[in-house]
Structure 1
Amino acid sequence: MTTTTFRKLAFATLAAPFTLGLAGCDSAPEGGAATSEPIAPIEAPAGQQWTDIVNVSESDGYIVGNPDAPIKVIEYASLTCPACAAFAANGAEQLKSEYVSTGRVSFELRNQIHGPHDLALATMVRCGAKESFHPLSDQVWTNLQQVLQPIFDNAEAVEQSLTLPEDQRLVQLAEIGGFYDFFAARGLSTDQARQCLADADKYKQIAENSTTQSNELDVTGTPTFFINGRKLDANSWTQIEPELQRAGAR
């Protein structure tokens, strides 16, 4: 990934006010689905709960719940998107506690990257154990203003960091943004985070997955939700829950 390509990775978002992060957060309209027969709950393995089981998909998404669940929910989300933060606060917990817990539904979270700061965050939430991906993502969304404000306040320094060698770009960007202290307070050591951010092959793969999958699935904004491969015209829990029930989660 050249310096020019890296800087083109939605760097313009750094100059936008925080509230403009809501732009591009609507999913494209799709037709409704037919109502399916109710699906019986599926027991978790002995001594476990489905909401504690996490697997990484072939698409580099992080799946909570029964990996063989008959109803599969996928969310494309940006860690810098206020609408994604709103769903994390007002939908994700209900989805997990009321539906994923039954074994009938799995919930896969995939990153759509909206800039180099977003790429740094996506790399850091992947840096620890796979079970920490969802909780760390939720922490970023819960504290979104705190996380993003130093990036907006220091846009020139961030832009300069993107001219560094590949193994130093995100390392320096995270320093400017105060990301190390934020994540260290949540269990990810600074040394471990720096090592992950210095792995250019890893972070470039995250960015490439975002671009490729967004193009293939016509994901034009975040959050975008799919149920069993069907893109929803929905981005709030009040819209998504009826779709789950129509799919048989009742």
Structure 2
Amino acid sequence: MGSARSNVVNRISRRRPASVYLLAVTAAGMFLATGGMSGGTCNVNLNPPGNNNGNNNGNSNTGGGPQITASDHVLGNANAPVTVVEYSDLQCPFCGRFARQEFATFKANYIDTGKVRFVYRHFPLTNIHPRAQPAAEASECASDQVDFYDYIDDVFSNSSDVNTLSDESLRNYAIALGASGATFDTCFGGNAKAARVQQDVNSGSALGVTSTPTFFVNARRIAGFQTAAQLGAAVDQELGG
């Protein structure tokens, strides 16, 4: 995402037998341990309505698709024929996997060539990812001073555990990119970007988003982790190829 993404990527339910109850408890424990992960997504709940929780599953045409606004972080040609919007969570492992392993290739093939304008939107799953909301707000604070995509590159590249999303780490990522620590502190400490993050969440909820990552290729919704080739194939369909 941006020129820095390539650089950072490189450095970087009557009565049941007791056995049924045991199985249910075990399954619940696994759900909690994995942070609500299923089929390449991080989920708001175990079986969100209208979402089958698999790669290329739970997909639909949403009608008009997301509407791009002046506050969106747009990457690429503003007049590109296809718009790809990703609803993401900075603590979601599948979002991180896409960012680290797939985005650079997708960017080179579709964004840099003028075929796609890309937009990242926040969708922190606060019930399973306690640091996702602060990280989202921090990225918006950082974007007042440095490139937004450079910042989330650094977050995803270093998100090996929850400690890498501590307030101190989020601050340090901004400073390393050239931001003023004092200015960042004023913004982040005052929750100045909470409403901005909620704006993205509201837009995603209105479009039926229940898990991350969720992509929109124009009006087509695709839930779950995508390889560069999979996401590219969806773009090619929109292009008529």
- TM-score normalised by structure 2 residue count: 0.66
CA offset at residue 199 of structure 1? 3.7
Listed as ranges, the gaps of 5+ residues in structure 1 are: 1-15, 33-56, 152-172
- Rounded to whole Å, the distance in 2 between the matches of 1:179 and 1:212 is 24
CA offset at residue 98 of structure 1? 1.2
Identify the residue that residue 99 of structure 1 maps to in structure 2: 110
Identify the residue that residue 136 of structure 2 maps to in structure 1: 122
From 51, 59, 62, the counterpart of 1:30: 59
From 159, 163, 174, the counterpart of 2:167: 174
- Rounded to whole Å, the distance in 2 between the matches of 1:133 and 1:90 is 19
- Residues 85, 138 of structure 1: 8 Å contact kept: no
Number of residue pairs matched by the alignment: 185
Listed as ranges, the gaps of 5+ residues in structure 2 are: 1-31, 43-52, 62-67
CA offset at residue 234 of structure 1? 4.9
- Rounded to whole Å, the distance in 1 between the matches of 2:233 and 2:122 is 24
Identify the residue that residue 195 of structure 1 maps to in structure 2: 186
Deviations 1:80-139 (A, max 9, x none): 111000000122111211111121211111010223522221122222456611121111
CA RMSD of aligned residues (A): 2.7
State yes or no: 1:144 paired with 2:159. yes
Which is richer in strand? 2
Change (3 A) 1:223 1:182: same
Which is richer in helix? 1
Identity %: 25
Identify the residue that residue 81 of structure 1 maps to in structure 2: 92
Q: Counterpart of 2:77 in 1: which secondary structure?
A: coil
State yes or no: 1:63 paired with 2:56. no
CA offset at residue 21 of structure 1? 6.3
State yes or no: 1:243 paired with 2:234. yes
Q: Counterpart of 1:231 in 2: which secondary structure?
A: strand
CA offset at residue 150 of structure 1? 6.3
- Rounded to whole Å, the distance in 2 between the matches of 1:143 and 1:21 is 21
Q: Counterpart of 2:85 in 1: which secondary structure?
A: strand
Q: Counterpart of 1:29 in 2: which secondary structure?
A: strand
Change (3 A) 1:249 1:67: farther
- Residues 213, 223 of structure 2: 8 Å contact kept: no
Match of 2:112, as an amino acid? S
Deviations 1:37-69 (A, max 9, x none): xxxxxxxxxxxxxxxxxxxx4174311011121
- Rounded to whole Å, the distance in 2 between the matches of 1:92 and 1:124 is 22
- Rounded to whole Å, the distance in 1 between the matches of 2:188 and 2:236 is 40
Could you tell which deviates more after superposition, 238-247 or 116-125? 116-125
Change (3 A) 1:61 1:21: farther
- Rounded to whole Å, the distance in 1 between the matches of 2:224 and 2:36 is 18
Deviations 1:158-195 (A, max 9, x none): xxxxxxxxxxxxxxx724xx432343223333212211
